[in-house]
Amino acid sequence: MSVDLDEEEVFEDVRERVDDPMRRLFAEYGRENAFQFVVGFISSIGARVLDLVPPLLLSIAVDAIFLDNKPYSLWLVPDAWLPSDRGAQLWLTVGIIAGAFIVGAAFHWTRNWGWNSFAQNIQHDVRTDTYDKMQRLNMEFFADKQTGELMSILSNDVNRLERFLNDGMNSFFRLSIMVIAIAVILLYTNWQLALVALGVVPLIAIFTKKFIDVIQPKYAEVRSSVGQLNSRLENNLGGIQVIKAANTESFESDRVDDVSEDYFDANWDAIDTRIKFFPGLRLLSGIGFVVTFVIGGLWVIGEPLGPLSGELEAGEFVLFILLTQRFIWPMAQFGQIINMYQRAHASSERIFGLMDTPSRIREEPDADPLVVGEGNVEFDDVSFGYDDSENIVEDITFDVDGGDTVALVGPTGAGKSTVMKLLLRMYDVDEGAIRIDGTDLREATIPSLRQALGYVSQETFLFYGTVQENIEYGTFGAETADVVEAAKMAEAHQFIQNLPEGYDTKVGERGVKLSGGQRQRIALARAILKDPDILVLDEATSDVDTETEMLIQRSLDKLTADRTTFAIAHRLSTIKDADKIVVLEDGKIVERGSHDDLLEADGLYAKLWAVQAGEIDELPEEFVERAARRRAQTEATDDD
Ligand code: ADP
């Protein structure tokens, strides 16, 4: 699901481990971008202060120049420096205002530069670091977590951080400075009227808090319903062929209608609350404005009301009217900033949670690079289960002499691929050990192990890019001639040449669609080009037609002649010449030997061979029953 998942659901387990994620964010990522932060911070102050210059000067001009009821005096400037002529005073005032606009504009620019680059840099660093950590996690992690959850962290959560660091922090400093500066000016000008004008502030704070409390659960509801809607749409688009074939368009339309309506309802509920909040706020600030206007207005034309005392000049009154208006909105926006902060907090918890997830496959600190000599491989009493509840493979013991080919044979689900994944160290064995030329895999560095192994699996994945890039993947910088040679050995050259742009044709998710067999041949060419010490072919030619398979087989014979090779194949004819055949059933080795030995033994292998050779129609009842039992078991665990 590439959607905004509900915060509560995702990574609950890892979130708990993260203490004070925002502080960590600033400590780990803020420091490098401290310059941008300081520029943003200082410019925010500068821009805000300069914004207040025009109303301040206007108030002074009203009293000193237009009404002439006060001497002309500017804050922070000695009176002796000021002109006494009213015309000159007016020009000076206008000049300062114009200067404030120009310098203010420059500050606005540096402020946005500072905050934006601060946020963008951190966003970039956090995303690339998270991705880097994530792809080094072990396979169990990817099996457990939905791709959508991970995508959601890498995109939504990182974006939310950026939004807070940019808009949130920018607004926070801007508004805080504004509120403090205005409060100071008002209190300095006339503290009594200031108390009247600011009296509405606590009311606004309470009102905003109430609004946040009410709207937050509604937003959570919206997020969860948009998640459901998106996953339904994504699911349906993925399964469109099934929908058409099953003629269930109306049924699916109804289902989409339902989830869309849930989203509509949730959204409307939130909108309904939101659209009442802002008029409410306007009303409150209006009350504050009217009260200040009445009290201040009466004061200017006559006497101060009630306990108020002293003088209030018209210009001061104008200043109050101008500034109280500017004061109210920032107060309301604090609510929004708190909201952004909370979301950023939750997001950074998830991001650091992901970064802190330990990998079960760990390289020993004293691991040495694996040096493959002869290429002997030894499985020594290996047992392993994907989870703790049951062993998927048990007591696997066999060895392969360097340069030999061993075939793993057995029914689906017997554990053949699992054995190979253990050799690749996608998982670590629970018991026993796997050794290459006597070195336990766990004592070798992981990159050196993977470099020594070439792996072609049944599920061939092509990256978006050209055919050539896909063949070169992992052997970057190969000569084109070598790429073509590898493609020829994998029987892929012919069809690649017939593609619209040959080796430069784009394939993969958004590229030209290739058949399963063609993809497998590209994957095979990739392994051939890599020229590994040990080759693992896990149903590497299962999707290729029999004729092509025979052609590939010829090349493979050359390729595997002096190379330790593991082959898993359903079509037994392709592995019958292997030096050793190991037959697995239910995670255990049940037979081993050469093709001829095994036929003679007349066990599972001989039966499988007979079925494939067409000598008998079907497997004896006992095997079929066992297969059915196994299937049922697998399905039961899949349902869990
Ligand atoms: P084979 O290659 O012989 O068909 P596998 O090694 O793929 O068999 O699978 C052996 C068993 O392990 C099956 O029951 C399968 O359901 C289970 N299995 C395979 N991969 C996983 C996994 N990532 N997590 C949990 N169980 C798995």
Report whether residue 418 contacts ligand 1, using a CB cutoff of 6 Å. Answer: yes
Residue 1, in any domain of the structure: no
The 3-state DSSP class for residue 70 equals coil
Residues 463 and 540 grouped into a single domain: yes
Pocket test for ligand 1, best of 142, 361, 386, 421 (most atoms within 8 A of CB): 386
Do 207 and 114 belong together in one domain?
yes
Tens of pLDDT, residue by residue over 10-19, are: 455 555 567 7
pLDDT greater than 70 at residue 637: no
pLDDT tens for 411-437 read 888 999 999 999 999 889 999 999 999
What is the rounded radius of gyration, in angstroms, for the C-alpha atoms of the chain? 37
Q: Is 228 in the pocket of ligand 1 (CB under 6 A)?
A: no
Return the ligand 1 atom nearest residue 584 CA. Answer: 3
pLDDT bucket at 7, cuts 50 / 70 / 90: very low
Q: Is 252 helix (H, G, I), strand (E, B) or coil?
A: helix
Would residue 370 count as lying in a domain? no
Q: Picking from 45-54, 486-495, 625-634, which range would have the lowest pLDDT averaged per residue?
A: 625-634
Q: For the chain, how many structural domains are there in total? A: 2
Confidence of residue 4 (pLDDT cuts 50, 70, 90): very low
DSSP 594: -
In this prediction, residues 197-204 reach a mean pLDDT of 86
Ligand 1 pocket, residue 288 CB under 6 Å: no
User: Is 233 within the bounds of a domain?
Assistant: yes
337 and 442, same domain (yes or no): no
The verdict on 285 and 385 lying in the same domain is: no
Confidence check: pLDDT of 454 > 70: yes
Query: Is the pLDDT assigned to residue 8 strictly greater than 50?
Result: no
> Is the CB of 496 within 6 Å of ligand 1?
no
Looking at the fold, whether 243 and 130 belong to one and the same domain comes out as: yes
Q: Report how far ligand 1's centroid is from the alpha carbon of 415 (Å).
A: 6
Does residue 320 or residue 549 have the better pLDDT? 320
Count of CA atoms in the C-beta half-sphere (13 A) of 300: 19
Q: Are 335 and 211 in contact (CB under 8 A)?
A: yes
Q: Which atom of ligand 1 is nearest to the CA of 411?
A: 3
Distance in Å, CA 459 to ligand 1 centroid: 14
Condensed to tens digits (0 to 9), the pLDDT of residues 525-546 reads 999 999 899 999 988 777 778 7
Which tokens hold the place of 522?
Answer: 């590209």
pLDDT at 145: 66
Range of the domain at 393: 377-637
Same domain membership, residue 387 and residue 345? no
Ligand 1 neighbour 386 (Cβ under 6 A): yes
Q: Confidence class of residue 9 from pLDDT cuts 50, 70 and 90?
A: very low
> What count of other Cβ atoms lies within 10 Å of the Cβ of residue 601?
14
Looking at residue 324, which CATH number applies to its domain? 1.20.1560.10
pLDDT at 2 over 50: no
Boundary of a domain, candidates 304, 321, 355: 355
CA of 627 relative to ligand 1 center, distance in Å: 14
Q: Quick one: pLDDT at residue 409?
A: 92
Residue 202 has pLDDT above 60, yes or no: yes
Going by their DSSP bridges, the two strands 405-409 and 506-507 should be labelled as unpaired
pLDDT of residue 152: 78
In this structure, are 383 and 351 located in the same domain?
no
Are 502 and 451 in the same domain?
Answer: yes
- Between 12-16, 263-267, 616-620, the lowest mean confidence (pLDDT) is in 12-16
pTM of the model: 0.72
Q: Is residue 620 part of a domain?
A: yes
Tell which atom from ligand 1 comes closest to the C-alpha of 568: 2
Q: Which of 323, 307, 308 is nearest to 197 (CA)?
A: 323
CA distance 523 to 447: 20
> Is 583 a domain residue?
yes
Report the DSSP pairing between strands 580-585 and 588-593.
Answer: antiparallel
- 87-91, 486-490, 631-635, range with the lowest pLDDT: 631-635
Determine how many CB atoms are found less than 10 A away from the CB of residue 303: 9
Cβ–ligand 1 distance for 633 under 6 Å, the answer no
**Which of 418, 420, 538, 608 maximizes ligand 1 atoms within 8 Å of its Cβ, making it the mutation to test the pocket?**
418
400 and 333 fall within a common domain: no
Give the per-residue pLDDT at 15.
53
If you write DSSP's letter for every residue of 421-484 in order, what string do you get?
HHHTTSS--SEEEEEETTEEGGGB-HHHHHHHEEEE-SS----SEEHHHHHHTTSTT--HHHHH
Element (H, E) at 372: none
Inter-CA distances, 583 with 74, 386, 431, 473, Å: 96, 21, 20, 33
Average pLDDT for residues 327-334, to the nearest whole number? 74
Q: How many C-beta atoms lie closer than 10 Å to residue 86's C-beta?
A: 14
Q: Is 392 in the pocket of ligand 1 (CB under 6 A)?
A: yes
Q: Is residue 496 part of a domain?
A: yes
Which of the listed residues 355, 385, 404 is the one where a domain comes to its end? 355
Q: Are residues 405 and 349 in the same domain?
A: no
In this structure, what DSSP letter does residue 132 have? H
Taking all residues of the chain, what is their mean pLDDT, rounded to a whole number? 85
For ligand 1, is residue 417 a contact (CB within 6 Å)?
yes
Give the nearest ligand 1 atom to 143 CA: 23
Which band of pLDDT confidence, cut at 50, 70 and 90, is reported for residue 264? very high
**Is the pLDDT score of 34 beyond 80?**
yes
412 lines ligand 1 (CB under 6 A): yes
CATH number of residue 597's parent domain: 3.40.50.300
Is residue 257 one of the residues assigned to a domain?
A: yes
Token pair of 357 as six digits: 């997830």
Atom index in ligand 1 nearest the CA of residue 538 equals 2
Q: Note whether residue 362 is domain-resident.
A: no
Residue 329 and residue 424 in one domain: no
User: Average pLDDT, stretch 606-628?
Assistant: 74
243 and 385 in a single domain? The answer is: no
Lowest mean pLDDT among 74-83, 201-210, 368-377, 569-578: 74-83
Q: Which residue has the higher pLDDT, 631 or 494?
A: 494
pLDDT exceeds cutoff 90 at 482 = yes
